[in-house]
């Protein structure tokens, strides 16, 4: 990860060096004023650009506020450290804050409050109070103490980022990609083609997103589940409400069992499907199921799909699936998974865990659904913990 280190310099030079060494041994890319060379950009412009490009922002506060930067926007009078902090928050960077413990002996020349100017220590006191109020700030006493705390905190953040990137929903098929099928059109040639395209597109997906804001029929949800079981690796159907919020999750087999127990034609289709030999060829198996579907639902064997179908509504879905429907998910705020939520995933009694990310702030809030394979997640977590906690090539 790219880790940006922010602090005043002269009073904390040994502390910054200890943190830099620890993070580089862990294989991270450390960005700070030590790495800057003479260039055309103003220092502040370069610093803020690097903050925005970093994966993680670490702020260290002693007893000096730093000199105010000239030519800055109102209200002005802020130091480069506080401007970096504000830019990190604005850019959505995760923030790790560390404060020098109040009882650590410190040179009076490096303490603003010891200056002759009125209210000399007010700005650093306000800044430290801000960091302590907004974050669970670490208190450090020595360079090695600080380096140890920062290394542990960065490792935990790295694991969180890794886990989100590994979330299995990145291969999901979204509702708009199956609009022709989910819209409930008749089984004309064009619709059959769209069904085939949708199933082929989801063959490598582990979860499928079902938008309940789109017109779904009970019959088509059943046919979809049957095709997914036979032809894909999809393990879960994730149902979301029209506003994007998570509603529930169930496996394709759970949907088959629930709807077959409710609708006689679905049960008849399933019985006849299992009475004949399935094909290992994807095209033949898809045609076999679709052809049987037409026969079962068309007169004289059936009343026709138009008469057999029921519009899928959230309350009906609960009735049809009962306990087969997983109705709770983990709510993740814009800052990412907490360690408590990580523990929830690892300890989950279901093998696939739904999570819902909230992106942005009101009124521009969006939601993103993901499904995590619990066992794969735990394995990757353990492997990443070992990888991030062990030194790589020594720094020369």
Q: Range with the lowest mean pLDDT among 113-122, 184-193, 309-318, 321-330?
A: 184-193
Range 247-268 average pLDDT: 94
Asked which of 109, 141, 165 is the last residue of a domain, the reply is: 165
Residue-wise pLDDT for 151-164, tens only, equals 988 887 776 666 56
Shared-domain flag, residues 155 and 118: yes
pLDDT exceeds 80 at position 133: yes
Shared-domain flag, residues 152 and 203: no
Residue 128 domain flag: yes
pLDDT exceeds 70 at position 171: no
CA–CA dist 198, 355 (Å, integer): 24
% of the chain residues with pLDDT over 90: 35
State which H helix or E strand residue 211 sits in.
Answer: strand 207-211
More confidently predicted of 390 and 204: 204
Q: What angle do CA 103, 107, 108 make, to 5 degrees?
A: 95
Residue-wise pLDDT for 26-82, tens only, equals 888 999 887 765 555 567 888 899 999 998 999 999 999 988 877 766 667 889 999
- Contacts of 333-337 with C-beta under 8 Å, sequence gap 24+, read 333/358, 334/92, 334/358, 334/359, 334/360, 334/361, 335/94, 336/94, 336/160, 336/161, 336/164, 337/160, 337/163, 337/164
Range 247-272 average pLDDT: 93
Give the strand order in the sheet containing 56-61: 29-31, 2-6, 56-61, 95-100, 138-140
Report residue 258 as tokens: 């629930």
Query: What is the domain extent for residue 41?
Result: 2-165
CATH of the domain at 151: 3.40.50.10140
Shared-domain flag, residues 82 and 113: yes
Shared-domain flag, residues 135 and 173: no
- DSSP summary character for residue 232: -
Shared-domain flag, residues 89 and 194: no
What's residue 167's pLDDT?
Answer: 52
CA–CA dist 268, 276 (Å, integer): 13
What's residue 375's pLDDT?
Answer: 83
More confidently predicted of 212 and 19: 19
Residue-wise pLDDT for 183-237, tens only, equals 555 556 556 676 677 777 776 677 888 888 877 889 888 988 998 898 888 888 8
Residue-wise pLDDT for 324-363, tens only, equals 999 999 888 877 777 778 778 888 888 888 888 887 767 7
Residue 392 domain flag: no
Report residue 376 as tokens: 């794969």
Shared-domain flag, residues 55 and 198: no
CATH of the domain at 272: 3.10.580.10
What's residue 166's pLDDT?
Answer: 56
Q: Count of domains in the chain?
A: 2
Residue 279 domain flag: yes
Shared-domain flag, residues 223 and 298: yes
What's residue 114's pLDDT?
Answer: 85
Shared-domain flag, residues 160 and 226: no
| Average pLDDT of the chain to the nearest whole number | 82
Tell whether pTM > 0.85. no
Report residue 89 as tokens: 């928050």
pLDDT exceeds 50 at position 145: yes
CA-based Rg of the chain, rounded to a whole angstrom?
29
Shared-domain flag, residues 334 and 208: yes
Residue 7 domain flag: yes
What's residue 355's pLDDT?
Answer: 86
Shared-domain flag, residues 319 and 272: yes
State which H helix or E strand residue 253 sits in.
Answer: helix 252-260
């Amino acid at each position: 990860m790219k880790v940006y280190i922010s602090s005043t310099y002269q009073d904390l030079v040994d502390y910054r060096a200890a943190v830099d060494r620890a993070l580089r041994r862990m294989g991270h890319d450390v960005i700070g004023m030590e790495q800057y060379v003479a260039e055309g950009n103003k220092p502040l412009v370069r610093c803020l650009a690097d903050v925005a490009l970093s994966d993680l922002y670490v702020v260290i506060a002693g007893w000096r506020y730093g000199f105010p930067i000239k030519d800055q926007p109102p209200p002005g009078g802020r130091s480069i450290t506080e401007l970096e902090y504000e830019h990190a928050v604005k850019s959505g960077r995760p923030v790790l804050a560390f404060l020098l413990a109040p009882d650590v002996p410190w040179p009076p020349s490096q303490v603003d409050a010891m200056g002759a100017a009125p209210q000399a220590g007010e700005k650093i006191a306000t800044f430290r109070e801000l960091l302590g109020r907004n974050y669970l700030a670490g208190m450090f006493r020595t360079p090695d103490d600080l380096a140890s705390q920062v290394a542990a905190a960065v490792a935990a953040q790295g694991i969180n980022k890794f886990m989100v990137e590994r979330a299995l929903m990145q291969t999901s098929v979204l509702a708009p990609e199956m609009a022709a099928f989910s819209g409930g059109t008749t089984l004309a040639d064009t619709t059959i083609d769209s069904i085939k395209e949708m199933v082929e597109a989801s063959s490598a997906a582990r979860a499928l997103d079902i938008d309940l804001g789109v017109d779904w029929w009970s019959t088509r949800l059943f046919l979809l589940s049957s095709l997914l079981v036979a032809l894909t690796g999809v393990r879960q159907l994730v149902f979301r409400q029209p506003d994007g919020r998570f509603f529930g999750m169930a496996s394709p087999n759970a949907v088959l069992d629930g709807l077959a127990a409710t609708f006689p034609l679905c049960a008849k289709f399933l019985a006849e499907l299992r009475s004949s030999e399935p094909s290992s060829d994807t095209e033949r198996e898809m045609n076999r199921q679709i052809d049987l579907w037409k026969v079962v639902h068309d007169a004289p064997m059936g009343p026709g799909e138009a008469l057999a179908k029921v519009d899928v509504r959230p309350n009906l879905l609960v009735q049809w699936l009962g306990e087969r429907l997983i109705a709770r998910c983990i709510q993740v705020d814009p800052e990412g998974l907490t360690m408590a939520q990580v523990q929830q995933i690892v300890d989950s009694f279901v093998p696939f865990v739904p999570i819902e990310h909230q992106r942005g702030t009101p009124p521009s809030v969006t939601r993103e659904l993901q499904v995590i394979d619990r066992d794969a997640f735990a394995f990757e977590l353990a492997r990443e913990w070992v990888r991030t906690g062990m030194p790589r090539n020594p720094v020369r």
